[in-house]
Structure 1
Protein backbone atom coordinates (compact mmCIF):
# COMPACT_ATOMS: atom_id res chain seq x y z
CA UNK A 1 0.00 0.00 0.00
CA UNK A 2 2.92 2.34 0.68
CA UNK A 3 4.04 1.77 -2.89
CA UNK A 4 0.58 2.82 -4.10
CA UNK A 5 0.92 6.08 -2.17
CA UNK A 6 4.32 6.81 -3.70
CA UNK A 7 3.50 5.73 -7.26
CA UNK A 8 0.46 6.52 -9.35
CA UNK A 9 -0.87 3.64 -11.44
CA UNK A 10 -3.49 3.21 -14.13
CA UNK A 11 -5.66 1.25 -11.69
CA UNK A 12 -5.69 3.91 -8.99
CA UNK A 13 -5.96 6.77 -11.48
CA UNK A 14 -9.12 5.19 -12.88
CA UNK A 15 -10.35 4.64 -9.33
CA UNK A 16 -9.89 8.36 -8.64
CA UNK A 17 -12.01 9.11 -11.70
CA UNK A 18 -14.81 6.95 -10.30
CA UNK A 19 -14.74 8.21 -6.71
CA UNK A 20 -12.04 10.29 -5.05
CA UNK A 21 -13.32 9.62 -1.55
CA UNK A 22 -13.32 5.85 -1.90
CA UNK A 23 -9.85 5.83 -3.45
CA UNK A 24 -8.34 7.99 -0.71
CA UNK A 25 -9.94 5.76 1.92
CA UNK A 26 -8.43 2.73 0.21
CA UNK A 27 -4.98 4.34 0.01
CA UNK A 28 -5.22 5.21 3.72
CA UNK A 29 -6.10 1.58 4.45
CA UNK A 30 -9.42 2.44 6.08
CA UNK A 31 -11.56 0.90 3.35
CA UNK A 32 -11.20 -2.29 1.35
CA UNK A 33 -13.40 -2.49 -1.73
CA UNK A 34 -15.48 -5.61 -2.22
CA UNK A 35 -13.60 -7.30 -5.05
CA UNK A 36 -14.89 -10.35 -6.90
CA UNK A 37 -12.18 -12.68 -5.63
CA UNK A 38 -13.16 -15.55 -7.92
CA UNK A 39 -12.92 -13.37 -11.03
CA UNK A 40 -9.57 -12.03 -9.78
CA UNK A 41 -8.20 -15.53 -9.20
CA UNK A 42 -9.41 -16.77 -12.58
CA UNK A 43 -7.69 -13.82 -14.27
CA UNK A 44 -4.47 -14.46 -12.34
CA UNK A 45 -4.71 -18.16 -13.21
CA UNK A 46 -4.66 -17.28 -16.91
CA UNK A 47 -1.93 -14.68 -16.55
CA UNK A 48 0.32 -17.02 -14.55
CA UNK A 49 0.07 -19.64 -17.31
CA UNK A 50 1.48 -17.25 -19.88
CA UNK A 51 4.08 -15.88 -17.47
CA UNK A 52 5.88 -19.22 -17.03
CA UNK A 53 5.31 -22.88 -16.19
CA UNK A 54 6.79 -22.32 -12.72
CA UNK A 55 4.56 -19.31 -12.02
CA UNK A 56 1.47 -21.30 -13.04
CA UNK A 57 2.39 -24.32 -10.92
CA UNK A 58 3.06 -22.08 -7.91
CA UNK A 59 -0.28 -20.31 -8.40
CA UNK A 60 -2.15 -23.63 -8.44
CA UNK A 61 -0.37 -24.82 -5.28
CA UNK A 62 -1.20 -21.57 -3.48
CA UNK A 63 -4.88 -21.63 -4.44
CA UNK A 64 -5.79 -25.32 -4.59
CA UNK A 65 -8.52 -24.81 -1.98
CA UNK A 66 -10.19 -22.19 -4.16
CA UNK A 67 -9.90 -24.08 -7.43
CA UNK A 68 -10.96 -27.66 -6.75
CA UNK A 69 -14.00 -29.43 -5.32
CA UNK A 70 -13.61 -31.86 -2.43
CA UNK A 71 -13.47 -34.64 -5.02
CA UNK A 72 -10.53 -32.97 -6.70
CA UNK A 73 -12.44 -31.72 -9.75
CA UNK A 74 -11.49 -28.36 -11.19
CA UNK A 75 -14.26 -25.83 -10.62
CA UNK A 76 -16.28 -24.65 -13.63
CA UNK A 77 -14.73 -21.16 -13.76
CA UNK A 78 -11.25 -22.65 -14.04
CA UNK A 79 -12.38 -25.14 -16.65
CA UNK A 80 -13.51 -22.14 -18.71
CA UNK A 81 -10.13 -20.50 -17.98
CA UNK A 82 -8.42 -23.60 -19.36
CA UNK A 83 -10.53 -23.22 -22.51
CA UNK A 84 -9.44 -19.59 -22.73
CA UNK A 85 -5.81 -20.66 -22.40
CA UNK A 86 -6.24 -23.37 -25.03
CA UNK A 87 -7.86 -21.06 -27.58
CA UNK A 88 -4.82 -18.78 -27.34
CA UNK A 89 -2.09 -21.41 -27.23
CA UNK A 90 -3.60 -23.15 -30.27
CA UNK A 91 -3.52 -19.93 -32.29
CA UNK A 92 -0.47 -19.33 -34.55
CA UNK A 93 -0.82 -15.53 -34.51
CA UNK A 94 -0.91 -15.44 -30.71
CA UNK A 95 2.14 -17.68 -30.44
CA UNK A 96 4.01 -15.44 -32.87
CA UNK A 97 3.01 -12.22 -31.12
CA UNK A 98 3.27 -13.20 -27.47
CA UNK A 99 7.05 -13.36 -27.35
CA UNK A 100 9.19 -11.28 -25.03
CA UNK A 101 9.77 -10.40 -21.40
CA UNK A 102 6.80 -11.36 -19.23
CA UNK A 103 5.48 -9.34 -16.26
CA UNK A 104 8.00 -6.54 -16.86
CA UNK A 105 7.92 -3.80 -14.20
CA UNK A 106 8.29 -0.28 -15.57
CA UNK A 107 8.60 3.01 -13.68
CA UNK A 108 8.91 6.64 -14.64
CA UNK A 109 7.28 10.05 -14.43
CA UNK A 110 4.31 11.57 -16.23
CA UNK A 111 3.95 15.32 -15.79
CA UNK A 112 6.29 15.19 -12.79
CA UNK A 113 4.40 12.41 -10.98
CA UNK A 114 5.90 8.98 -10.26
CA UNK A 115 4.10 6.16 -12.08
CA UNK A 116 4.56 2.41 -12.24
CA UNK A 117 3.14 -0.43 -14.29
CA UNK A 118 3.49 -4.12 -15.07
CA UNK A 119 3.65 -5.20 -18.72
CA UNK A 120 2.26 -8.65 -19.53
CA UNK A 121 4.59 -9.11 -22.50
CA UNK A 122 7.25 -6.64 -23.67
CA UNK A 123 9.24 -7.08 -26.87
CA UNK A 124 11.68 -4.23 -27.36
CA UNK A 125 13.15 -5.75 -30.54
CA UNK A 126 9.75 -5.65 -32.24
CA UNK A 127 8.86 -2.37 -30.52
CA UNK A 128 5.56 -3.76 -29.22
CA UNK A 129 3.98 -4.67 -25.91
CA UNK A 130 0.91 -6.76 -25.26
CA UNK A 131 -1.63 -6.90 -22.46
CA UNK A 132 -3.92 -9.86 -21.84
CA UNK A 133 -7.51 -8.92 -21.04
CA UNK A 134 -10.37 -11.22 -20.15
CA UNK A 135 -13.93 -10.03 -20.71
CA UNK A 136 -17.43 -11.47 -20.65
CA UNK A 137 -17.92 -11.04 -24.39
CA UNK A 138 -15.60 -9.18 -26.73
CA UNK A 139 -18.43 -7.50 -28.63
CA UNK A 140 -20.55 -6.71 -25.56
CA UNK A 141 -21.89 -3.14 -25.46
CA UNK A 142 -21.83 -0.93 -22.35
CA UNK A 143 -23.96 2.17 -21.89
CA UNK A 144 -22.08 5.36 -21.03
CA UNK A 145 -24.57 7.53 -19.17
CA UNK A 146 -22.37 10.63 -19.24
CA UNK A 147 -21.78 10.51 -23.00
CA UNK A 148 -25.23 9.03 -23.72
CA UNK A 149 -23.81 6.40 -26.04
CA UNK A 150 -22.86 2.72 -26.24
CA UNK A 151 -19.23 1.77 -25.93
CA UNK A 152 -17.00 -1.32 -26.01
CA UNK A 153 -15.31 -3.02 -23.08
CA UNK A 154 -12.13 -1.17 -24.10
CA UNK A 155 -13.77 2.15 -23.27
CA UNK A 156 -15.74 0.80 -20.31
CA UNK A 157 -12.50 -0.04 -18.51
CA UNK A 158 -10.48 2.79 -20.09
CA UNK A 159 -7.74 0.56 -21.43
CA UNK A 160 -6.39 3.29 -23.76
CA UNK A 161 -5.28 5.23 -20.66
CA UNK A 162 -3.49 2.19 -19.27
CA UNK A 163 -1.74 1.55 -22.59
CA UNK A 164 -0.69 5.20 -22.90
CA UNK A 165 0.87 5.06 -19.44
CA UNK A 166 2.72 1.83 -20.22
CA UNK A 167 3.96 3.22 -23.54
CA UNK A 168 5.41 6.29 -21.82
CA UNK A 169 7.03 4.33 -18.99
CA UNK A 170 8.61 1.86 -21.43
CA UNK A 171 10.02 4.75 -23.45
CA UNK A 172 11.47 6.43 -20.37
CA UNK A 173 13.01 3.21 -19.06
CA UNK A 174 14.30 1.73 -22.32
CA UNK A 175 14.29 4.57 -24.87
CA UNK A 176 12.05 2.58 -27.22
CA UNK A 177 8.61 3.80 -28.34
CA UNK A 178 6.50 0.64 -28.45
CA UNK A 179 3.10 0.04 -30.02
CA UNK A 180 0.46 -1.39 -27.63
CA UNK A 181 -1.85 -4.28 -28.42
CA UNK A 182 -4.60 -5.82 -26.34
CA UNK A 183 -5.09 -9.56 -26.62
CA UNK A 184 -8.66 -10.13 -25.49
CA UNK A 185 -10.26 -13.47 -24.72
CA UNK A 186 -13.87 -13.94 -23.63
CA UNK A 187 -15.09 -15.85 -20.58
CA UNK A 188 -17.43 -18.00 -22.64
CA UNK A 189 -17.39 -21.80 -22.65
CA UNK A 190 -16.22 -21.53 -26.24
CA UNK A 191 -14.08 -18.39 -25.94
CA UNK A 192 -13.75 -15.69 -28.56
CA UNK A 193 -10.42 -13.92 -29.04
CA UNK A 194 -9.07 -10.81 -30.72
CA UNK A 195 -5.91 -8.74 -31.09
CA UNK A 196 -6.91 -5.11 -30.64
CA UNK A 197 -4.96 -2.02 -31.66
CA UNK A 198 -5.45 1.44 -30.20
CA UNK A 199 -5.53 4.44 -32.57
CA UNK A 200 -2.97 7.16 -31.87
CA UNK A 201 -5.76 9.68 -31.32
CA UNK A 202 -7.09 7.57 -28.45
CA UNK A 203 -3.65 7.52 -26.84
CA UNK A 204 -3.50 11.30 -27.30
CA UNK A 205 -6.88 11.60 -25.59
CA UNK A 206 -5.55 9.53 -22.69
CA UNK A 207 -2.56 11.87 -22.42
CA UNK A 208 -4.89 14.87 -22.25
CA UNK A 209 -7.05 13.08 -19.67
CA UNK A 210 -4.06 12.58 -17.38
CA UNK A 211 -2.75 16.11 -17.87
CA UNK A 212 -6.18 17.52 -17.01
CA UNK A 213 -7.07 15.40 -14.01
CA UNK A 214 -3.74 14.47 -12.44
CA UNK A 215 -3.00 17.83 -10.72
CA UNK A 216 -6.21 17.61 -8.70
CA UNK A 217 -5.81 13.90 -7.93
CA UNK A 218 -2.33 14.56 -6.57
CA UNK A 219 -3.64 17.34 -4.32
CA UNK A 220 -6.41 15.04 -3.09
CA UNK A 221 -3.94 12.20 -2.57
CA UNK A 222 -1.63 14.49 -0.57
CA UNK A 223 -4.46 15.85 1.58
CA UNK A 224 -4.40 19.38 0.16
CA UNK A 225 -7.88 19.03 -1.35
CA UNK A 226 -11.00 17.39 0.08
CA UNK A 227 -11.92 14.30 -1.95
CA UNK A 228 -15.23 14.42 -3.78
CA UNK A 229 -17.75 11.69 -3.02
CA UNK A 230 -19.46 10.13 -6.02
CA UNK A 231 -22.49 9.33 -3.84
CA UNK A 232 -23.16 6.04 -5.62
CA UNK A 233 -20.35 3.57 -4.92
CA UNK A 234 -20.24 1.06 -2.05
CA UNK A 235 -17.97 3.30 0.03
CA UNK A 236 -20.27 6.32 -0.33
CA UNK A 237 -23.33 4.24 0.54
CA UNK A 238 -21.54 2.76 3.55
CA UNK A 239 -20.43 6.11 4.96
CA UNK A 240 -23.47 8.19 3.98
CA UNK A 241 -25.52 10.11 6.53
CA UNK A 242 -29.01 11.47 6.07
CA UNK A 243 -29.10 15.10 5.01
CA UNK A 244 -31.73 17.04 3.12
CA UNK A 245 -35.14 15.54 2.54
CA UNK A 246 -35.49 14.50 -1.10
CA UNK A 247 -38.61 14.86 -3.17
CA UNK A 248 -39.84 11.75 -4.92
CA UNK A 249 -39.54 13.76 -8.14
CA UNK A 250 -35.72 13.78 -7.76
CA UNK A 251 -35.13 10.07 -7.24
CA UNK A 252 -34.30 9.42 -10.89
CA UNK A 253 -31.64 11.57 -12.52
Structure 2
Protein backbone atom coordinates (compact mmCIF):
# COMPACT_ATOMS: atom_id res chain seq x y z
CA UNK A 1 0.00 0.00 0.00
CA UNK A 2 1.47 3.33 -1.05
CA UNK A 3 1.76 5.93 1.69
CA UNK A 4 0.92 9.59 1.00
CA UNK A 5 0.61 12.73 3.10
CA UNK A 6 -3.19 12.27 2.92
CA UNK A 7 -3.40 8.66 4.12
CA UNK A 8 -0.34 8.38 6.36
CA UNK A 9 -2.32 8.66 9.62
CA UNK A 10 -5.31 6.57 8.45
CA UNK A 11 -5.98 3.39 10.43
CA UNK A 12 -6.13 1.49 7.14
CA UNK A 13 -2.40 2.04 6.62
CA UNK A 14 -1.68 0.78 10.14
CA UNK A 15 -2.67 -2.70 9.01
CA UNK A 16 0.09 -2.56 6.39
CA UNK A 17 2.80 -0.71 8.33
CA UNK A 18 3.80 -0.68 11.98
CA UNK A 19 4.86 2.67 13.41
CA UNK A 20 6.43 3.97 16.59
CA UNK A 21 3.11 5.23 17.95
CA UNK A 22 1.28 1.99 17.11
CA UNK A 23 4.06 -0.09 18.66
CA UNK A 24 3.90 2.00 21.85
CA UNK A 25 0.12 1.55 22.05
CA UNK A 26 0.40 -2.24 21.81
CA UNK A 27 3.21 -2.40 24.37
CA UNK A 28 1.05 -0.44 26.85
CA UNK A 29 -2.10 -2.51 26.38
CA UNK A 30 -2.85 -4.87 23.51
CA UNK A 31 -6.61 -4.80 24.10
CA UNK A 32 -6.81 -1.01 24.09
CA UNK A 33 -4.53 -0.69 21.05
CA UNK A 34 -6.61 -3.18 19.05
CA UNK A 35 -9.90 -1.50 20.00
CA UNK A 36 -8.47 1.85 18.97
CA UNK A 37 -7.15 0.42 15.70
CA UNK A 38 -10.55 -1.08 14.86
CA UNK A 39 -12.15 2.28 15.74
CA UNK A 40 -14.32 0.54 18.34
CA UNK A 41 -13.00 2.85 21.07
CA UNK A 42 -11.18 6.15 21.41
CA UNK A 43 -9.37 7.31 24.56
CA UNK A 44 -10.67 10.35 26.38
CA UNK A 45 -8.09 13.08 25.97
CA UNK A 46 -7.65 16.82 25.89
CA UNK A 47 -7.09 17.70 22.21
CA UNK A 48 -5.38 21.02 22.94
CA UNK A 49 -1.82 19.66 23.47
CA UNK A 50 -2.03 17.86 20.11
CA UNK A 51 -3.30 21.00 18.40
CA UNK A 52 -0.52 23.10 19.94
CA UNK A 53 2.09 20.59 18.81
CA UNK A 54 0.72 20.48 15.25
CA UNK A 55 0.45 24.28 15.18
CA UNK A 56 4.15 24.60 16.01
CA UNK A 57 5.21 21.80 13.64
CA UNK A 58 3.26 23.12 10.65
CA UNK A 59 4.74 26.59 11.16
CA UNK A 60 8.24 25.24 10.58
CA UNK A 61 7.18 23.01 7.68
CA UNK A 62 6.20 25.85 5.32
CA UNK A 63 3.81 28.76 5.05
CA UNK A 64 1.61 26.74 2.71
CA UNK A 65 1.52 23.74 5.06
CA UNK A 66 0.70 25.98 8.02
CA UNK A 67 -2.17 27.68 6.20
CA UNK A 68 -3.49 24.30 5.07
CA UNK A 69 -3.37 23.03 8.67
CA UNK A 70 -5.23 26.09 9.95
CA UNK A 71 -8.07 25.47 7.50
CA UNK A 72 -8.24 21.71 8.09
CA UNK A 73 -10.85 20.08 10.36
CA UNK A 74 -9.07 17.56 12.59
CA UNK A 75 -11.60 17.48 15.41
CA UNK A 76 -15.26 17.63 14.45
CA UNK A 77 -16.73 20.20 12.09
CA UNK A 78 -14.69 23.20 13.19
CA UNK A 79 -11.44 24.09 11.47
CA UNK A 80 -8.24 24.17 13.49
CA UNK A 81 -8.26 27.95 13.11
CA UNK A 82 -11.69 28.08 14.76
CA UNK A 83 -10.63 25.72 17.55
CA UNK A 84 -7.77 28.09 18.39
CA UNK A 85 -10.20 30.92 19.14
CA UNK A 86 -12.35 31.56 22.22
CA UNK A 87 -16.13 31.44 21.94
CA UNK A 88 -17.70 34.68 20.69
CA UNK A 89 -19.37 36.91 23.28
CA UNK A 90 -21.25 40.20 23.13
CA UNK A 91 -18.12 42.06 24.18
CA UNK A 92 -15.89 39.96 21.93
CA UNK A 93 -18.02 38.91 18.93
CA UNK A 94 -15.12 37.48 16.96
CA UNK A 95 -13.43 35.77 19.89
CA UNK A 96 -9.69 35.95 20.39
CA UNK A 97 -6.69 33.62 20.32
CA UNK A 98 -6.78 31.20 23.23
CA UNK A 99 -4.01 31.41 25.81
CA UNK A 100 -2.51 28.05 24.78
CA UNK A 101 -1.91 29.32 21.25
CA UNK A 102 -0.57 32.68 22.39
CA UNK A 103 1.98 30.60 24.26
CA UNK A 104 2.53 28.51 21.09
CA UNK A 105 3.42 31.73 19.28
CA UNK A 106 5.99 32.41 22.00
CA UNK A 107 7.38 28.91 21.53
CA UNK A 108 7.67 29.49 17.79
CA UNK A 109 9.38 32.84 18.32
CA UNK A 110 11.96 31.43 20.74
CA UNK A 111 12.94 28.85 18.10
CA UNK A 112 12.93 31.31 15.22
CA UNK A 113 15.25 33.59 17.20
CA UNK A 114 17.77 30.82 17.84
CA UNK A 115 20.78 30.58 15.50
CA UNK A 116 21.50 26.88 16.14
CA UNK A 117 17.90 25.90 15.45
CA UNK A 118 17.83 27.89 12.23
CA UNK A 119 21.15 26.44 11.08
CA UNK A 120 20.19 22.81 11.76
CA UNK A 121 16.40 22.63 11.31
CA UNK A 122 15.74 25.26 8.67
CA UNK A 123 18.46 25.00 5.97
CA UNK A 124 17.27 25.35 2.39
CA UNK A 125 18.67 21.96 1.37
CA UNK A 126 16.54 20.06 3.90
CA UNK A 127 13.07 18.54 3.43
CA UNK A 128 10.15 18.55 5.88
CA UNK A 129 7.61 15.84 6.77
CA UNK A 130 9.35 13.15 4.72
CA UNK A 131 7.66 9.72 4.68
CA UNK A 132 10.06 6.76 5.01
CA UNK A 133 9.39 3.03 4.97
CA UNK A 134 11.32 -0.19 5.44
CA UNK A 135 11.27 -3.69 6.85
CA UNK A 136 12.47 -5.15 10.14
CA UNK A 137 12.72 -8.92 9.91
CA UNK A 138 10.22 -8.89 7.05
CA UNK A 139 7.61 -6.66 8.74
CA UNK A 140 6.80 -3.30 7.13
CA UNK A 141 7.32 -0.09 9.10
CA UNK A 142 6.59 3.57 8.40
CA UNK A 143 7.80 6.89 9.77
CA UNK A 144 7.53 10.59 9.06
CA UNK A 145 10.62 12.77 9.51
CA UNK A 146 10.14 16.36 10.68
CA UNK A 147 13.29 17.62 8.96
CA UNK A 148 15.58 15.48 6.79
CA UNK A 149 18.91 16.64 5.33
CA UNK A 150 20.35 13.82 3.24
CA UNK A 151 23.11 16.02 1.83
CA UNK A 152 24.50 16.70 5.31
CA UNK A 153 23.58 13.26 6.63
CA UNK A 154 21.24 14.04 9.53
CA UNK A 155 17.58 14.30 10.51
CA UNK A 156 15.81 16.30 13.20
CA UNK A 157 12.73 15.72 15.31
CA UNK A 158 10.92 18.64 16.96
CA UNK A 159 9.16 18.06 20.29
CA UNK A 160 6.86 20.27 22.35
CA UNK A 161 6.91 19.39 26.07
CA UNK A 162 5.41 20.84 29.22
CA UNK A 163 8.76 21.13 31.01
CA UNK A 164 12.07 19.83 29.63
CA UNK A 165 13.52 19.32 33.11
CA UNK A 166 10.48 17.64 34.68
CA UNK A 167 11.15 14.15 36.04
CA UNK A 168 9.03 11.22 34.85
CA UNK A 169 8.40 7.87 36.49
CA UNK A 170 9.48 4.98 34.23
CA UNK A 171 7.35 2.10 35.49
CA UNK A 172 9.10 -0.67 33.53
CA UNK A 173 12.40 0.18 35.18
CA UNK A 174 11.03 1.46 38.51
CA UNK A 175 13.00 4.70 38.35
CA UNK A 176 12.74 8.37 37.53
CA UNK A 177 13.95 9.61 34.15
CA UNK A 178 13.69 12.47 31.67
CA UNK A 179 11.02 13.03 29.04
CA UNK A 180 13.09 11.40 26.28
CA UNK A 181 13.41 8.19 28.30
CA UNK A 182 9.81 8.10 29.50
CA UNK A 183 8.32 8.64 26.03
CA UNK A 184 10.59 6.17 24.28
CA UNK A 185 12.13 8.74 21.96
CA UNK A 186 15.45 6.85 21.76
CA UNK A 187 13.50 4.01 20.11
CA UNK A 188 11.75 6.48 17.81
CA UNK A 189 15.08 7.89 16.63
CA UNK A 190 16.42 4.36 16.11
CA UNK A 191 13.39 3.48 13.95
CA UNK A 192 13.73 6.64 11.87
CA UNK A 193 17.46 6.11 11.40
CA UNK A 194 16.85 2.58 10.10
CA UNK A 195 13.96 3.56 7.81
CA UNK A 196 15.90 6.47 6.30
CA UNK A 197 18.79 4.15 5.55
CA UNK A 198 16.46 1.65 3.85
CA UNK A 199 14.56 4.34 1.92
CA UNK A 200 17.47 6.48 0.74
CA UNK A 201 20.60 4.43 1.42
CA UNK A 202 22.02 7.14 3.69
CA UNK A 203 23.10 6.57 7.31
CA UNK A 204 21.87 9.75 9.03
CA UNK A 205 22.58 11.09 12.50
CA UNK A 206 19.52 11.90 14.66
CA UNK A 207 19.05 15.21 16.46
CA UNK A 208 16.17 16.60 18.48
CA UNK A 209 15.00 20.07 19.45
CA UNK A 210 12.58 20.45 22.35
CA UNK A 211 10.64 23.59 23.28
CA UNK A 212 8.63 23.86 26.48
CA UNK A 213 5.11 25.13 27.12
CA UNK A 214 6.30 27.62 29.73
CA UNK A 215 6.44 31.39 29.95
CA UNK A 216 9.02 32.13 28.72
CA UNK A 217 9.53 28.87 26.82
CA UNK A 218 12.65 26.81 27.44
CA UNK A 219 14.49 25.07 24.60
CA UNK A 220 17.25 22.51 24.24
CA UNK A 221 19.04 20.61 21.46
CA UNK A 222 19.90 16.92 21.84
CA UNK A 223 22.10 14.45 19.98
CA UNK A 224 22.00 10.67 20.30
CA UNK A 225 25.64 9.86 20.83
CA UNK A 226 27.41 8.06 23.70
CA UNK A 227 25.19 5.58 25.54
CA UNK A 228 22.28 6.46 23.23
CA UNK A 229 24.02 4.60 20.38
CA UNK A 230 23.83 1.33 22.31
CA UNK A 231 20.30 2.13 23.52
CA UNK A 232 19.16 2.56 19.90
CA UNK A 233 20.64 -0.83 19.00
CA UNK A 234 18.85 -2.40 21.96
CA UNK A 235 15.60 -0.69 20.92
CA UNK A 236 15.70 -2.23 17.45
CA UNK A 237 16.36 -5.65 18.98
CA UNK A 238 13.42 -5.16 21.35
CA UNK A 239 11.18 -4.30 18.41
CA UNK A 240 12.20 -7.45 16.54
CA UNK A 241 11.38 -9.55 19.60
CA UNK A 242 7.92 -8.01 20.10
CA UNK A 243 6.60 -7.13 16.64
CA UNK A 244 5.61 -10.69 15.70
CA UNK A 245 3.17 -10.91 18.58
CA UNK A 246 1.70 -7.50 17.68
CA UNK A 247 0.99 -8.68 14.12
CA UNK A 248 -0.63 -11.87 15.44
CA UNK A 249 -2.93 -9.80 17.68
CA UNK A 250 -3.78 -7.43 14.82
CA UNK A 251 -4.65 -10.30 12.48
CA UNK A 252 -6.68 -12.20 15.09
CA UNK A 253 -4.26 -15.11 15.40
CA UNK A 254 -3.77 -14.29 19.09
CA UNK A 255 -6.18 -12.79 21.59
CA UNK A 256 -5.11 -9.38 22.96
CA UNK A 257 -3.91 -9.16 26.54
CA UNK A 258 -5.57 -6.68 28.89
CA UNK A 259 -3.28 -4.59 31.09
CA UNK A 260 -6.14 -4.21 33.58
CA UNK A 261 -5.30 -0.62 34.50
CA UNK A 262 -5.72 1.65 31.48
CA UNK A 263 -8.79 3.66 30.51
CA UNK A 264 -10.03 0.97 28.12
CA UNK A 265 -9.55 -1.84 30.63
CA UNK A 266 -11.35 0.11 33.33
CA UNK A 267 -14.28 0.77 31.01
CA UNK A 268 -14.65 -2.91 30.02
CA UNK A 269 -13.70 -4.53 33.32
CA UNK A 270 -15.79 -7.39 34.74
CA UNK A 271 -15.25 -8.73 38.24
CA UNK A 272 -14.72 -12.49 38.30
CA UNK A 273 -13.57 -13.16 41.81
CA UNK A 274 -11.73 -11.94 44.88
CA UNK A 275 -8.08 -11.24 45.58
CA UNK A 276 -6.42 -10.87 48.96
CA UNK A 277 -6.52 -7.35 50.33
CA UNK A 278 -2.75 -7.48 50.75
CA UNK A 279 -2.09 -8.33 47.07
CA UNK A 280 -3.14 -5.16 45.24
CA UNK A 281 -0.78 -4.34 42.37
CA UNK A 282 0.59 -0.81 42.31
CA UNK A 283 3.11 1.12 40.21
TM range (shorter): over 0.9
User: Residue 35 of structure 1: CA displacement?
Assistant: 3.1
Matched with 1:230 is 259
Matched with 2:109 is 86
Mark the runs of 5 or more structure 1 residues left unpaired by the alignment: none
Matched, 1:95 2:118: yes
Moved more, 184-193 or 208-217: 208-217
Q: Which secondary structure state, in structure 2, belongs to the residue aligned with residue 190 of structure 1?
A: coil
Q: Which secondary structure state, in structure 2, belongs to the residue aligned with residue 48 of structure 1?
A: helix
Matched, 1:206 2:244: no
Separation of aligned partners in 2, 1:205 and 1:36 = 33
Matched with 2:273 is 244
User: Residue 25 of structure 1: CA displacement?
Assistant: 1.1
Aligned length: 253
Separation of aligned partners in 2, 1:8 and 1:201 = 23
Matched with 1:173 is 199
User: Residue 44 of structure 1: CA displacement?
Assistant: 0.6
RMSD: 1.2
Q: Which secondary structure state, in structure 1, belongs to the residue aligned with residue 172 of structure 2?
A: coil
Task: List structure 1 runs of 4+ shifted beyond 3 angstroms.
Answer: none
Matched, 1:114 2:140: yes
Q: 1:21 aligns with which of 22, 31, 37?
A: 31
Q: 2:247 aligns with which of 181, 198, 218?
A: 218
Matched with 1:155 is 181
Over 3 Å counting, the alpha-carbon distance change for 1:146 and 1:107 in structure 2 is closer
Matched with 1:63 is 80
Matched, 1:73 2:83: no
Q: Could you report, residue by residue, the CA deviation over 1:227-246 in whole angstroms, capped at 9, with x for unpaired residues?
A: 11000111101111111123
Q: Which secondary structure state, in structure 2, belongs to the residue aligned with residue 249 of structure 1?
A: coil
Mark the runs of 5 or more structure 2 residues left unpaired by the alignment: 1-10, 72-78
Separation of aligned partners in 1, 2:280 and 2:134 = 45
Q: Which secondary structure state, in structure 1, belongs to the residue aligned with residue 278 of structure 2?
A: helix
Matched, 1:137 2:170: no
TM-score w.r.t. the length of structure 1 is 0.96
Separation of aligned partners in 1, 2:42 and 2:164 = 29
User: Which protein is richer in helix relative to its size?
Assistant: 1
User: Residue 252 of structure 1: CA displacement?
Assistant: 4.9
User: Residue 150 of structure 1: CA displacement?
Assistant: 0.8
TM-score w.r.t. the length of structure 2 is 0.86
Moved more, 57-66 or 178-187: 57-66
Q: Which secondary structure state, in structure 2, belongs to the residue aligned with residue 6 of structure 1?
A: coil
